[in-house]
Structure 1
């Protein structure tokens, strides 16, 4: 546990030697413990040293299933869907995937693939990015070490860790995430993180709408996607020429409905407050 706590306190990889010095544990014991933790997926060995592995987040997700998160979030997610006539979700991250644990929709909601229990690559989903953006960079690195990890569903989305990090940096600055057509063509999703009592991002609330409802220029975060992503952004910009009656804000991805962003942020803040 001391090794895991020490790795969690750092935003960079830590060598075995540094762990020996910091924790004052015999070198042989440190290597034995690291070997076991690596087999369990709790740490990952990289060239600079060790970082937390995806198994740590899986344990956290398992804890979520036994705590009141879903019970407390359900009325908030339901109200968000009713107020916006859209599809609202609550999602967590398990390993490198987004897992949808709640879904609420109104009679006029768009059809999306985010049924309860469905898993999606977290780097493609707005809910996944909302959580990833608030995690230590070492944890993100542990989840996506290989370029082969990045596979798109619709030809749009980050194709490398560098592109993902650019998206997450924009998401971190904005405080919310957006994806445009990366999970379902013609559907865009906004999402904001939910935090636990220790201020760790443990879930995210998402809102999926048909593209025109998102705003004049909803698109994948600018400058970090693939060429296909750039094409999608250009298409969104073309739609912007038609104008929009909705108030909007600039996210670095273009303009999105300010009202929808505020509603998603408020819903996430409400669930966070309930958990504390």
Structure 2
């Protein structure tokens, strides 16, 4: 493989800045990456000129701009997730060996949107088909993503009790009716380590889910399985959750390029 040190160093700077919780001094970039200080300034200057880095002059620090995220959007993040995740859903069905439907979803405002779906033999038909939008706080996939957002982000999505009210005709059952109940539900989800929904979308159906984390440990998607409650013994839920968690972890590894 041909050595392209300048290109590699640019990518190293971008990755380093992406890992930082706050804007960073150029000297720190140079020190941590083992670069000459002049090289670090040149690379940061080029990234600044191209709009990929912002400079905070009062602090003499640098941070990534939103341009990289916009590139990801233009490359169709949903399509990338679907292509990476669909084979893992098929593998998940083989590991669970139960009449379940495996799904991959992302958060879109207050809704969960399903990007991919695979069904095992004798699995039920669901309302949550590919492209369908469902209230996030009522679904297992939505709940596990919400549980990994910070409190301010959740409040931005659900600012008041009225934001939890489901529109007429959605077919959704009872869920958290107050912000306190929503907070408690998300705390339970974090404590458990996986998402759970039972009869709140369709009576007699339940779902288990796990979050997909990207390279910044951000909740970018969720994988879940849905089943008829009469067809699955509740004692095996921890085993199902472990298999779903492994699939979600594998998708996260693929997103990180590993």
Give the TM-score of the pair, scaled to structure 1. Answer: 0.62
Residue 269 of structure 1 and its aligned partner are, at CA, apart by: 1.0
Is 1:199 matched up with 2:217? yes
Q: In 2, distance between residues paired with 1:204 and 1:263?
A: 13
Kindly name which structure, 1 or 2, has the bigger radius of gyration based on alpha carbons. 2
Residue 241 of structure 2 aligns with which residue? Answer: 261
| Superposed CA offset, 1:108-152 (max 9, x none) | 111211111100110000000010000111010000112112235
Residue 157 of structure 1 aligns with which residue? Answer: 175
Aligned ranges 1:86-101 → 2 under 5 Å: 86-101=100-115
Q: In 2, distance between residues paired with 1:64 and 1:75?
A: 18
Residue 84 of structure 1 aligns with which residue? Answer: 98
**Does the 8 Å contact 2:99/2:231 carry over to 1?**
no
Seen in structure 2, the aligned counterparts of structure 1 residues 58 and 102 have a Cα distance that, compared at 3 Å, is farther
Q: In 2, distance between residues paired with 1:125 and 1:64?
A: 24
1:119 is aligned, of 109, 124, 133, to 133
Residue 191 of structure 2 aligns with which residue? Answer: 173
Partner SS state of residue 117, structure 1:
coil
Seen in structure 2, the aligned counterparts of structure 1 residues 61 and 210 have a Cα distance that, compared at 3 Å, is farther
Aligned ranges 1:237-276 → 2 under 5 Å: 248=235, 257-276=237-256
Is 1:73 matched up with 2:53? no
| Superposed CA offset, 1:248-275 (max 9, x none) | 3xxxxxxx52221111111111111111
Q: In 1, distance between residues paired with 2:174 and 2:141?
A: 16
**Does the 8 Å contact 2:204/2:230 carry over to 1?**
no
**Does the 8 Å contact 2:78/2:115 carry over to 1?**
no
**Does the 8 Å contact 1:61/1:93 carry over to 2?**
no
The CA RMSD over aligned residues, in Å, is 2.8
Q: In 1, distance between residues paired with 2:138 and 2:214?
A: 24
Residue 212 of structure 1 and its aligned partner are, at CA, apart by: 3.0
* Runs of 4 or more above 6 Å deviation: 57-63
Q: In 1, distance between residues paired with 2:139 and 2:249?
A: 20
- Give 5+ residue unaligned stretches, structure 1: 10-22, 26-56, 217-247, 249-255
Residue 72 of structure 1 and its aligned partner are, at CA, apart by: 1.1
Higher mean alpha-carbon deviation, 152-161 vs 189-198, is at 152-161
**Does the 8 Å contact 1:58/1:93 carry over to 2?**
no
Give the TM-score of the pair, scaled to structure 2. Answer: 0.66
Seen in structure 2, the aligned counterparts of structure 1 residues 60 and 142 have a Cα distance that, compared at 3 Å, is farther
**Does the 8 Å contact 1:127/1:205 carry over to 2?**
yes
Residue 212 of structure 1 aligns with which residue? Answer: 230
Seen in structure 2, the aligned counterparts of structure 1 residues 105 and 134 have a Cα distance that, compared at 3 Å, is same
Partner SS state of residue 106, structure 2:
strand
2:145 is aligned, of 93, 113, 131, to 131
